[in-house]
């Protein structure tokens, strides 16, 4: 899972919830439905799962680990990112000042300040849309020195506001999860070129009917600008309209 950095949350500014009343209602609903909440500590060096025990005034109480050493590391972290879902809606928020040891209803717990804002993403915002096969969208990725330098072109398999999947049929990029490629350019027909860094999040080797191997790499956008993200959303909307027209027999 990708770390919810401050810049990533800024990319989702259109989906930001800033009403204190709404934030409290969302958090209480998450707790009442016993939704698991993922904590990313110290970047992505440690990932833990917790749940919301209670929300009171300006304070959230979270369940803590049975591992005392892990609790110590969580308490010492300066900033913690959280991700969960509610009714199939992705929820992101951050504890900028970390969490502190506490008790709730006689049980060990962590407490944190109520966040100033949260990000609430409907499925539409991160749903992956397949890209055309007959006229593939291309991603131009600069290659590092150890991979020969220069740049290579990769066709897209799908696209979302969170990233893209590319096909690496010549196995040029390797499959190292976490590798980041700066200055990548995605050429979106009728929209323009999107420039962003890409980080490999997953790798899947596919065996085709002709017995050849293709590699599908899932890539996340890293620090994508608002303008570039808006162009990605415009292109997804264009693809959806074209698909709907075909389904209606108008395409």
> 96 and 153 in one domain?
no
Residue 3 inside a domain? The answer is: no
> 134 and 65 in one domain?
no
Bigger pLDDT: 46 vs 208: 46
Looking at residue 38, what is its pLDDT? 87
Residue 2 inside a domain? The answer is: no
Looking at residue 207, what is its pLDDT? 66
> 99 and 135 in one domain?
no
The residue from 73, 94, 121 where one domain ends is 121
Looking at residue 122, what is its pLDDT? 65
Domain count, the chain: 2
Residue 1 inside a domain? The answer is: no
- The torsion angle over the Cα atoms of residues 246, 14, 115 and 48, rounded to 10 degrees, is 30
> 159 and 89 in one domain?
no
**What domain range includes position 165?**
128-248
Work out the average pLDDT over 12-27. Answer: 84
pLDDT, tens digit (0-9, with 9 covering 90-100), for 206-239: 766 566 677 889 899 998 998 999 999 899 888 8
pTM of the model: 0.52
- Phi and psi torsions of 40, nearest 5°: -110, 115
What's the rounded Cα separation, in Å, for the pair 218 and 165?
A: 4
Residue 5 has pLDDT above 60, yes or no: no
Looking at residue 106, what is its pLDDT? 93
Helix (H) or strand (E) holding 242: helix 226-247
Bigger pLDDT: 120 vs 20: 20
| Percentage of the chain modeled with pLDDT above 90 | 45
Q: What is the CATH number of the domain that holds 236?
A: 2.40.10.220
Residue 67 banded pLDDT, cuts 50, 70, 90? confident
């Amino acid at each position: 899972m990708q770390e919810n950095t401050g810049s990533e949350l800024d990319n989702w500014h259109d989906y930001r919830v800033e009403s204190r009343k709404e934030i409290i209602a969302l958090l209480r609903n998450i707790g009442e439905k016993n939704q698991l909440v993922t904590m990313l500590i110290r970047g992505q060096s440690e990932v833990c799962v917790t749940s919301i025990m209670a929300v009171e005034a300006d304070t959230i109480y979270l369940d803590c680990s049975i591992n005392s050493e892990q609790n110590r590391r969580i308490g010492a972290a300066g900033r913690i990112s959280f991700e969960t879902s509610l009714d199939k809606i992705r929820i992101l928020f951050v504890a900028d000042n970390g969490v502190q040891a506490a008790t709730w209803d006689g049980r060990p717990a962590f407490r944190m300040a109520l966040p100033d804002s949260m990000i609430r993403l409907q499925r539409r915002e991160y749903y992956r849309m397949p890209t055309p096969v007959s006229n593939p969208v291309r991603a131009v990725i600069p290659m590092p020195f150890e991979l020969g330098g220069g740049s290579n072109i990769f066709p897209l398999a799908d696209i979302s506001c969170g990233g893209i999947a590319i096909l690496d049929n010549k196995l040029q990029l390797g499959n190292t999860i976490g590798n980041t490629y700066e200055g990548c350019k995605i050429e979106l027909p009728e929209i323009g070129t999107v420039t962003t860094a890409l980080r490999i999040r997953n790798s899947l080797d596919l065996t085709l009917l002709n017995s050849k191997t293709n590699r599908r790499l899932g890539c996340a956008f890293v620090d994508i600008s608002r303008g570039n993200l808006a162009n990605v959303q415009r292109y997804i909307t264009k693809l959806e309209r074209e698909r709907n027209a075909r389904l209606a027999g108008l395409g």
